[in-house]
Amino acid sequence: MKRIENIGVFTSGGDSPGMNAAIRAVVRTGIWEGFDMFGIYRGYEGMIDGQIEPLFSHSVSNIIQRGGTILKTARSKRFMTFEGRAQAYEHLMKHNIHALVAIGGNGTFTGAAEFTKEFDIPVIGLPGTIDNDLYGTDYTIGFDTAINTVIEAADKIRDTATSHDRLFFIQVMGRDSGYIALWSGVASGAEFILIPETKTYIDNLTRLVKHDIRKNKTSGIVIVAEGDDAGDAESVAAQVKERLPELETRVTILGHIQRGGSPTARDRMLASMLGCFDQSLERGTAGGYGRTDQQTDCLHTIRRSHQESQRNHSRPAGDVAGPGTVEGLKT
């Protein structure tokens, strides 16, 4: 493996709240460790097209609280081909980039695994997706914000459902994973939650709705994961209505509001902790997101930064930080 001096960071796939916090932590940790950091724009697409620029400590100022990703993102079909990956590698070499930090989900890491095998370039993966569907970590960056967005919406829908005596079907994202539906459903007190991980029987659902009606319940919420086997929320609502025509139903598809917004404290902390990657790179390993030892490394860095900042609080901050400076903690 080549000696690593320059590191590229990028976001890829669907964006998620907290990606900016992760970029910030990665860039400042890299600078702290003495690397030169480069941002790759629009994920693998930008890698193939050579959209690569240096990042400094000030480049990531004032972004920890912002949703979306300052590096932009894309889903790349071209990176699925060897030609695309070879072109991406060429651009990385032009900038002397010999290691990557990828922030994304399943597709991002599938691409990274292929790339690292073919081109001997270590890639560290940071789990960034609202879906919470990645192996190796309990939570992905963005999941907590997304479920809070759903809960807020469900609480509002609950008000109007109660006023009008209606059964609402709320469709949430997650692709083929039911995490968003399950967590937001439990936390908002939904009457029913439909997830792809368990088979949905519409007759059972209808029976349970009837049971609720018999108990004088006049309204309710069904959270439907978009990947549920019984269909999307429109289809599930239609199937229930067919069996219970007297029921007044409404469908709300929450859609991309789940992907935006200012990240919660939990997502900011997760992103900041996972963004500290120094030990993993020294080992030259690929992958390894969500590991406890990475988080421990991070806490060491934060602790060191605190000590340094207490000693140097009057020192003006520069763009390029080496070991012993306090860039890791600037906001």
In the complex with ligand F6P, the residue whose CB is nearer, 116 or 129, is 129
In the complex with ligand F6P, the residue whose CB is nearer, 116 or 177, is 177
CB of 203 to ligand F6P, least distance (A): 27
CB of 176 to ligand F6P, least distance (A): 8
Residue 203 burial by Cβ neighbours in a 10 Å radius (0-12, 13-18, 19+): exposed
Tokens of 109: 């890491």
CB of 60 to ligand F6P, least distance (A): 23
In the complex with ligand F6P, the residue whose CB is nearer, 226 or 327, is 226
In the complex with ligand F6P, the residue whose CB is nearer, 8 or 14, is 14
The residue type at 7: I
CB of 131 to ligand F6P, least distance (A): 5
CB of 75 to ligand F6P, least distance (A): 6
The residue type at 225: A
The residue type at 301: T
CB of 172 to ligand F6P, least distance (A): 8
- 99 forms beta bridges with 7
* Whole-angstrom Cα Rg for the chain: 23
Q: How far is CA 99 from CA 87, 118, 121, 123, 244, in A?
A: 16, 14, 6, 6, 58
In the complex with ligand F6P, the residue whose CB is nearer, 175 or 291, is 175
Q: What's phi and psi for 211, nearest 5 deg?
A: -60, -45
Phi-psi region for residue 7, left (φ > 0), alpha (ψ -120 to 50) or beta? beta
- Residues binding ligand F6P (CB under 6 A): 14, 105, 129-131, 173-175, 226, 259
The residue type at 62: N
131 is annotated as an active-site residue: yes
Q: Tell me which residue of 62, 19, 9 sits closest to 261, measured CA to CA.
A: 19
CB of 140 to ligand F6P, least distance (A): 10
Q: CA neighbours within 13 Å on the CB side: how many for 13? A: 23
Catalytic residue among 15, 49, 120, 131, which?
A: 131
- Helix 292-312 × helix 19-32 angle, to 10°: 70
In the complex with ligand F6P, the residue whose CB is nearer, 175 or 250, is 175
Residue 216 burial by Cβ neighbours in a 10 Å radius (0-12, 13-18, 19+): exposed
Rounded to whole angstroms, the Cα distance separating 192 from 223 reads 6
What is the three-class DSSP state of 321?
Answer: coil
- Is 232 within 8 Å of 202 (Cβ atoms)? no
What is the three-class DSSP state of 325?
Answer: coil
Rounded to whole angstroms, the Cα distance separating 64 from 17 reads 10
In the complex with ligand F6P, the residue whose CB is nearer, 129 or 219, is 129
Which residues are annotated as catalytic? 131
